[in-house]
Amino acid sequence: MTVTKPEDRRPPHDDAPVLEARDIVKRFTGVLALDHVSLSLRPGEVHALVGENGAGKSTLIKVITGVHRPDEGSVLLAGRPAGFAGPLDAQRAGVQAVHQEIGLVPDLSIARNLLLGREPRRALGLIDSRRMHETAARTLTSYGVRVDVRLPLRSLGVGAQQMVALARAVSVDARVVIMDEPTSSLEPREVDTLFGVIDRLRDQGIAVLYVSHRLDELYRICDGVTVLRDGRVVHQGALADLDRLRLVSLMLGRDVAKVRAEGVTRFSGAHEVSGEPVLEAHGLSSRYLLDDVSLTVRSGEVVGLGGLLGAGRTETAKAIAGALPLDAGRVTVAGLSVRRGSAGAAVRAGIALLPEDRKAEGIVPTLSVRDNIALAALPRLARAGVVSDARIDRIVDTFMKRLRIKATGPHQPVAELSGGNQQKVLLARWLATEPKVLLLDEPTRGIDVGAKAEVQALVDELAETGLGVLLISSDLEELVEGSDRVVVLKDGAVVGELTGDELTEEGVMTTIAQGVS
Amino acid sequence: MSEAAVALPRPAGARVLTWLQNYGVYAAIGVLIVVNIGITPHFLSMENLRTQLVQVAPIVIVSLGMALVIGTEGVDLSVGSVMALATALLPLYLGYGVGPAILVALLGGVAVGLVNGSLVAFVRVQPIVATLALFVGGRGLALVLAGGQLKDVHNAALLDLGSSSVVGVPLPVVVAGALTLLVAGVVRRTTFGRQLVAIGGNRTASVLSGLPVRRVLLLVYVLSGLLAAVAGVLATARLQASDPSSLGLLMELSAITAVVVGGTPLTGGRVRVLGTVAGALLIQLVRATLIKHDLPDSVAQMVQAVIILAAVYAARGGAGR
């Protein structure tokens, strides 16, 4: 395995760009997803494309591969307008995208998958199996995958499947390969193999657009970088000229110099921390996702979880809430151990999770505001399995008033409410269960400014009543000001913890940039 | 662009559609009754009403269970086969008395429900596939148990179930009515009912909210099996014969139709118990009307298709969405 050092991996042919996106503008129902984004790839260049959620990375990839048609601007392949009609068209022209969700056929043999559509033929158009297997085995061996190519693809691990997808992409006369988070499910050894492959692509003059959040990998393999934020290019240039802290601050949209600005969030910051640990998580581990994560939340304390996208913040919250299968680890609430892998047990123990994806994991769209609020607390609002309407009405009324939920009434369908009010309904659902620990995953994302301030004030208020709160937020300002302590995650592991004076936005970014897991 | 149109308040057409969605099935029944009073001789006779209600009772009972299953975003294809299984089991145990025989028949339905429910809840097989197994296998088992023959039933106590009345109302109708009220109560007033609807509306959210999702799903399929077995027993009593090769044939489709026409979406998250009963009545009325006027059953089936399409159209909220 040889991975070349940065200094001697200048692109072999320093000529005209093979792929160019010029001034791309893309709107979705009025929302500007890409705002005059330009990007060019030279042959043999490995270019990093980075940015947080919603920055526009996937939209850009989709525009390049012809899934979306740009509203303005153009995509050029070798200097000529590409105008791909779709991914297939792009593939034929030599632009290959290898996605996270691997676009292969799990039940066909590995060899068939590798050569799908290009199988060696015999007379009468029949597939020449022997030749197909030989070719496939030879190709895969060169990618470090040694398997019986006659087996169905799904008998392989995710990493090996990804290698097959990559080998397939590269073997069809690729000129540009787009890799979207290629290492998210790879073992370290497989990552090395992948980087070896990327080095070979570089030598062959193939351009690679590499999307990832793993800083170490970016600095190991990429030459250039484009940082997207809110649909705009905020930085473009050689990666070697950009230090890690600066890259992190560009991604998160926080200017290192201006970071010590006065607070505008509604958090008061300091809470009366009683000192009694209410939530303790020990050694939470889950393959590819979490690596020995431990943390403690005390009664009355707000603990923030910091880190980039994909660092394992959501996974940590889900693991604590019993909604993520764990290989190892233990969770206790107020000293009592919680049965692993059971969301029901976690709820009964007093753990409440406000999920990141409100629509998919939170609200029940067919039900009313009232039924959504009562959902998790039903067992305690019922006697012998028969629910008491009076008790539900009372509790729903209490929380609708306390959280100032704006609805025409308790019977309005929850789907008709604004995002902020839906979020409050979900908070009410959990508060009705009288939890001891509140896990808030991006509680203010996608809600308007007014509701945001209300939710922030509410988090404060709840902590003051003695709840332990775990706060996940991609909004650094919110994270730093809302938390008494911030635990920083990177690649699924804890890399640092900040309290007191160290707890600044700069501190969090430095920890993310330099932390070693 | 259509952005502006989306933001506009719902036009009058949408309001009509919502009304149709909620009350269309009752309106259709009303219209059919009025039409029949006009054109069908003896439609309002006690005799005719009794016949219609007795015929629809098993469909109503099966549809109640189906409505619960569909409320969880599932479907139960095995209900017809459960009826066959129940009718096959009955004569085998009548020697021990009517009570034990009925009990065994009902337990047959529960057993099928347990298998379906376990596959759906624990193995996470798609409901349509899980229940397809016993849709095929259940009737096969019933035929094996019955020795592949139609058997006349002579047990007086059992036949009474099909022919006796409570203050003039035939017993099967009374049972169907009582079960309707019971299921409506379960859906509206019990933890189980509220959880069932939530699971159909958003399973992930239900899991994260700590609901006993698997237990609820299991119980839903058990109830569906049990209700289908009840329908099988009542139908056997009325027909005075045990015929596992034909009893309950296509019942799954009638029940699904009744549920959908009654306003319960196939995507789950909502259960309309009274609507389901109305859906069953509507289909029965259409069929009876056409047959009374000497139109073949095939025409009734086509009309049924039109009703289903209309219901699905209304449920989707019009063509544009």
Rounded Cα gap, residues B92 and A309, in angstroms? 65
CB burial of A320-349 (b: ≥16 within 10 Å; e: otherwise) equals bbbbbebeebebbbeeeebebebbbbbbeb
First-residue to last-residue Cα distance in chain B:
16
- Once rounded to an integer, what is the mean pLDDT over residues B262-286? 92
* For residue A397, pLDDT beyond 80: yes
Q: Which chain A residue shows the shortest CA-CA distance from B268?
A: A366
* For residue A280, pLDDT beyond 80: yes
A385 and B190 in contact by Cβ < 8 A?
Answer: yes
State how far Cα A448 lies from the chain centre.
22
Q: What is the pLDDT of residue B141?
A: 95
Strand-pair partners of A279: A297, A333
A385 and B208 in contact by Cβ < 8 A?
Answer: no
Pairing type for strands A437-441 and A468-472 reads: parallel
More confident site: B172 or A359: B172
More confident site: A140 or A486: A486
Helices (runs of H) and strands (runs of E) counted in chain A: 16, 22
Of A346, A363, A378, the CB nearest to B205: A363
Retrieve residue A384's tokens: 């012998």
Per-residue pLDDT band for A102 (boundaries 50, 70, 90) equals low
- Please give the helix or strand (H or E) that residue A282 lies within, else none: strand A277-286
Of A321, A360, A366, the CB nearest to B269: A366
Q: Which chain A residue shows the shortest CA-CA distance from B186?
A: A386
| Cβ neighbours of B270 in A, within 8 Å | 366
Of A361, A365, A386, the CB nearest to B208: A361
**Helix then strand then coil, % of chain A, to nearest 5:** 35, 25, 40
Taking alpha carbons only, the member of A61, A54, A113 closest to residue A87 is A61
Query: Who's near B287: CB < 8 A, 6+ residues apart?
Result: B297, B300, B304
Taking alpha carbons only, the member of B148, B117, B149, B151 closest to residue B134 is B117
| Cβ neighbours of A348 in B, within 8 Å | 210
B270–A contact, CB cutoff 8 A: yes
Strand-pair partners of B186: none
B208 and A362 in contact by Cβ < 8 A?
Answer: yes
Instruction: Assess contact for A280 and A332: CB atoms under 8 A.
Output: yes
How many beta carbons lie within 10 A of that of residue A5, not counting itself? 8
* For residue A2, pLDDT beyond 60: no
Instruction: Assess contact for B170 and B53: CB atoms under 8 A.
Output: yes
Question: What is the residue-wise DSSP string for A285-347?
Answer: EETTTEEEEEEEEETT-EEEEE--TTSSHHHHHHHHTT-S--SEEEEEETTEE--TT-HHHHH
Taking alpha carbons only, the member of B1, B36, B50, B70 closest to residue B252 is B70
User: Three-state SS across chain B?
Assistant: CCHHHHHCCCCHHHHHHHHHHHHHHHHHHHHHHHHHHHHCCCCCCHHHHHHHHHHHHHHHHHHHHHHHHHHCCCCCCCHHHHHHHHHHHHHHHHHHCHHHHHHHHHHHHHHHHHHHHHHHHCCCCCHHHHHHHHHHHHHHHHHHHCCCCCEECCCHHHHHHHHCEECCEEHHHHHHHHHHHHHHHHHHHEHHHHHHHHHHHCHHHHHHCCCCHHHHHHHHHHHHHHHHHHHHHHHHHHHCEECCCCCCCCHHHHHHHHHHHCCCCCCCCCCCHHHHHHHHHHHHHHHHHHHHCCCCHHHHHHHHHHHHHHHHHHHHCCCCC
Per-residue pLDDT band for A58 (boundaries 50, 70, 90) equals confident
Q: Which chain B residue shows the shortest CA-CA distance from A318?
A: B208
B191 and A387 in contact by Cβ < 8 A?
Answer: yes
B211–A contact, CB cutoff 8 A: yes
A33-46: pLDDT as tens digits: 899 999 999 999 99
Q: What is the pLDDT of residue A435?
A: 95
| Cβ neighbours of B206 in A, within 8 Å | 364, 375
B18–A contact, CB cutoff 8 A: no
| Cβ neighbours of A365 in B, within 8 Å | 201-202, 269
Q: What is the pLDDT of residue A470?
A: 96
3-state secondary structure of A47: strand
Instruction: Assess contact for A108 and A116: CB atoms under 8 A.
Output: yes
Q: Which chain A residue shows the shortest CA-CA distance from B205?
A: A361
Instruction: Assess contact for B191 and A385: CB atoms under 8 A.
Output: yes
* For residue A1, pLDDT beyond 60: no
| Cβ neighbours of A323 in B, within 8 Å | 207-208
- Please give the helix or strand (H or E) that residue A256 lies within, else none: none
Q: How far is CA B217 from CA A378, B114, B207, B224, B318, in A?
A: 17, 10, 12, 11, 31
Query: Closest Cα of chain B to A368: distance in Å?
Result: 11
Interface of A with B (CB under 8 A): 29-30, 321, 323, 343-344, 346-348, 353, 355, 360-367, 371, 374-376, 378-379, 382, 385-387, 389, 429, 433
Share of chain B above pLDDT 70, in %: 93
Taking alpha carbons only, the member of B293, B252, B289, B259 closest to residue B276 is B259
Q: For A434, which DSSP code?
A: -
B183–A contact, CB cutoff 8 A: no
| Cβ neighbours of A386 in B, within 8 Å | 189-191
A290-329: pLDDT as tens digits: 999 999 999 999 999 998 877 889 999 999 999 999 999 9
Q: How far is CA A371 from CA A367, A413, B202, B270, in A?
A: 6, 9, 13, 12
How many beta carbons lie within 10 A of that of residue B44, not counting itself? 11
Of A321, A371, A374, the CB nearest to B208: A321
Per-residue pLDDT band for B319 (boundaries 50, 70, 90) equals very low
B57-100: pLDDT as tens digits: 999 999 999 999 999 999 999 999 999 999 999 999 999 999 99
B269 and A365 in contact by Cβ < 8 A?
Answer: yes
Q: What is the pLDDT of residue B2?
A: 35
* For residue A180, pLDDT beyond 80: yes
- Once rounded to an integer, what is the mean pLDDT over residues B204-223? 96
* For residue B136, pLDDT beyond 70: yes
**Which residue has 């600044």 as its token pair?**
A504
Angle between helices A129-142 and A158-171 (to 10 degrees): 110
| Cβ neighbours of A376 in B, within 8 Å | 209-211
Query: Who's near A339: CB < 8 A, 6+ residues apart?
Result: A322, A345
Retrieve residue B53's tokens: 């209600």
* Residue of B6, B182, B199, B202 best to disrupt the A interface, most CBs of A under 10 A: B202
Q: What is the pLDDT of residue B317?
A: 57
- Please give the helix or strand (H or E) that residue A472 lies within, else none: strand A468-472
* For residue A451, pLDDT beyond 90: no
* For residue A111, pLDDT beyond 80: yes
- Please give the helix or strand (H or E) that residue A78 lies within, else none: none
Q: With a cut of 0.95, is the ipTM above it?
A: no
Question: What is the residue-wise DSSP string for A183-240?
Answer: TTT--HHHHHHHHHHHHHHHHTT-EEEEE---HHHHHHH-SEEEEEETTEEEEEEEGG
The chain-wide mean pLDDT, for chain B, equals: 89
How many beta carbons lie within 10 A of that of residue B11, not counting itself? 10
Of A365, A378, A433, the CB nearest to B195: A378
Retrieve residue B154's tokens: 């002579």
Per-residue pLDDT band for B182 (boundaries 50, 70, 90) equals very high
In single-letter form, the type of residue at position B14 comes to A
Of B191, B207, B211, the CB nearest to A382: B191
Question: What is the residue-wise DSSP string for A103-159?
Answer: -S-TTSBHHHHHHTT---B-GGG-B-HHHHHHHHHHHHHHTT----TTSBGGGS-HH
Per-residue pLDDT band for B23 (boundaries 50, 70, 90) equals confident
Retrieve residue A143's tokens: 């990618």
Q: What is the pLDDT of residue A9?
A: 47
The chain-wide mean pLDDT, for chain A, equals: 85
| Cβ neighbours of A30 in B, within 8 Å | 3
A152-169: pLDDT as tens digits: 888 877 777 878 888 887
- Once rounded to an integer, what is the mean pLDDT over residues A90-112? 80
Q: Tell me the CB-side half-sphere exposure of residue B211, using CA atoms within 13 A.
A: 30
More confident site: B6 or A467: A467
First-residue to last-residue Cα distance in chain A:
23
Q: Which chain B residue shows the shortest CA-CA distance from A324?
A: B208
Q: For A375, which DSSP code?
A: G
Look at phi and psi of residue B164 and say left if phi exceeds 0, alpha if psi is from -120 to 50, else beta: beta
CB burial of A416-429 (b: ≥16 within 10 Å; e: otherwise) equals ebeebbbbbbbbbb
Rounded Cα gap, residues B281 and A41, in angstroms? 67
3-state secondary structure of A252: helix
B227-236: pLDDT as tens digits: 999 999 999 9
- Once rounded to an integer, what is the mean pLDDT over residues A85-99? 83
Strand-pair partners of A330: A282
Per-residue pLDDT band for A411 (boundaries 50, 70, 90) equals very high
Query: Closest Cα of chain A to B164: distance in Å?
Result: 34
Instruction: Assess contact for A488 and A496: CB atoms under 8 A.
Output: yes
Query: Closest Cα of chain A to B61: distance in Å?
Result: 23
Of B190, B201, B202, the CB nearest to A387: B190
Rounded Cα gap, residues A462 and B58, in angstroms? 54
Pairing type for strands A277-286 and A232-238 reads: unpaired
Per-residue pLDDT band for A223 (boundaries 50, 70, 90) equals very high
A355 and B208 in contact by Cβ < 8 A?
Answer: yes
Angle between helices B273-292 and B46-71 (to 10 degrees): 140
**Strands across the sheet with A328-333, in order?**
A290-298, A277-286, A328-333, A336-337
B263–A contact, CB cutoff 8 A: no
Q: What is the pLDDT of residue A487?
A: 95
* Residue of B208, B214, B223, B264 best to disrupt the A interface, most CBs of A under 10 A: B208
| Cβ neighbours of A367 in B, within 8 Å | 197-198, 201, 269
Instruction: Assess contact for B66 and B253: CB atoms under 8 A.
Output: no
DSSP-H helix ranges across A350-487: 369-374, 389-402, 419-431, 449-464, 476-482
B95-116: pLDDT as tens digits: 999 999 999 999 999 999 999 9
Calculate Rg over the CA atoms of chain A: 25
